[in-house]
Amino acid sequence: MEVGELHDKVVYETNKPFIRIEGFGKDSNREGYVYKTSKTDRKKFKRQVLEEHNTLKHFIRRFDIDDELARYILPVYERLKRDPTKICNLMENIKLPFNFMWIEFKIGYTNIEKPDASQEPKVLAVAVTKPAEEPNNIFFHFYSEDGYFPIGYKIHGVGEETPLQNMMDDPSLSTEEREANHSEHSRLISRYIYGMPPPNQLDDNEQWGELETDFWESFAHEQFRYQKLLDRTTMFNIDYYVGAVNPVTEQLMNVGYLGMVLRFALIAIETLNYPWVQKEQKMRVVGKKSKTPRIVPHDHYYKAKIVLPKDEVVEIERNTPREDFYGMRQHQVRGHWRVLKNEFGEVRKRIWIDSFVRGNPKLGIVHKDYVLEGDKQKIKEEIKC
């Protein structure tokens, strides 16, 4: 399978999941998660997967990452591993260009401690969403050319209510039980999502490397901040995919593969969020659109190519609008950083502009997805540095 094909496969299969997804809505005998499916469950599953299907088909914006850009992201990802400061900075500052994103790419995984758990390059995808009913929280759903995963991840916004907080406030639990549950939550989230030992615990699991008793001694100043991130991060079950788990997807979940995929996707988003710069000019030329005798309304779909990495994109700010303007078709502008600089190149303001819709739907609607390509020359120069 090639990058760009997984989305169509998932949309096709989730349209009729009981027929096209092997094991969908069936009983599960997975170790640690036994699930018996009733008729009521199957009706609920059908409704839930239909919502997922409609989101993936009609609302999500696709971003296909080519091999060159993936090779650029991987070293950045490697520098992110086992560095709480970089993890916290990334998670605290991440912004979504669209509230519904599908990020598809092809990577492998090498497990040094357990070579049999390594994975050849496969097409994977992460659906990163920020639904309207929970605008401060970010959800991550995972897909593979080999099948479906029955768990997802959720990053709660600062101040949002979390399941962990509800557990800690539960009066029926003793102090010891609360502390034990909190410790187990931190262990699972830290190891499987962020790929490092939790604060105040040894790195004593063989698949995460050798013992590192001094790991948190080196990052003592980040323990509180990192613990707050762990408390805001949760896993959630996707029950209708439990029966569809196969040996490949089961193995990938056991080696923290999904956490690696999540971090890869976040770095891709960060790379995409280059600033759009407006420069103040002492003299400006007012643009004027050529006149058109007639505009024929029509819809249009295309894939826009973006070459990355970029430092910035410079825009010319105009004093007055165009004198003649016949309108534009409706389209969605992705979220981006807006940076205002003066004529000396000094930054005066930097703000995040959320995704928005502009244009006239009476003239037609432009539907757009994206192909993210690596800038070979720039990547080569950065690697040399």
| Residue ranges of E strands in the chain | 28-30, 33-35, 61-65, 100-109, 119-129, 138-144, 147-148, 151-155, 233-237, 276-279, 300-308, 313-316, 329-333, 336-341, 347-353, 356-358, 360-374
Average pLDDT over residues 77-106: 89
pLDDT category of residue 110 using cuts at 50, 70 and 90 = low
CA distance 317 to 190: 45
Cβ atoms of 91 and 266 closer than 8 Å: yes
How many percent of the chain have pLDDT more than 90? 34
Question: What would the mean pLDDT of 277-305 be, rounded to a whole number?
Answer: 63
The pTM assigned to this predicted structure is: 0.86
Q: What confidence category does residue 19 fall into, taking pLDDT thresholds of 50, 70 and 90?
A: very high
pLDDT tens digits along 306-360: 989 888 776 655 545 555 556 788 888 999 988 887 777 677 788 899 999 988 8
Phi-psi category of residue 135: left, alpha or beta, with phi > 0 → left and psi -120 to 50 → alpha:
alpha
CA dihedral sign, ordered 119, 30, 53, 21: positive
Least confident of 6-20, 133-147, 353-367: 353-367
What band does 197 get if pLDDT is binned at 50, 70 and 90?
A: confident
Q: If phi over 0 gives left and psi between -120 and 50 gives alpha, with beta otherwise, what is residue 278? A: beta
How far is residue 267's CA from residue 295's CA, in Å, rounded to a whole number? 41
What's the pLDDT score for residue 291? Answer: 53
Q: At what angle do helices 223-231 and 175-192 cross, to 10 degrees?
A: 90
SS3 146: coil
Write b or e for each residue in 52-62: b if 16 or more Cβ atoms lie within 10 A of its Cβ, otherwise e: bbebbeeebbb
* Cβ proximity of 72 and 379 under 8 Å: yes
Query: Does residue 226 contact residue 162 with C-beta atoms inside 8 Å?
Result: no
Given a cut of 70, is residue 140 above it in pLDDT? yes
Residue from 331, 347, 372 nearest 277 by CA: 347
Condensed to tens digits (0 to 9), the pLDDT of residues 237-285 reads 898 898 888 888 888 887 778 888 999 999 999 999 988 775 544 434 4
pLDDT of residue 284: 42
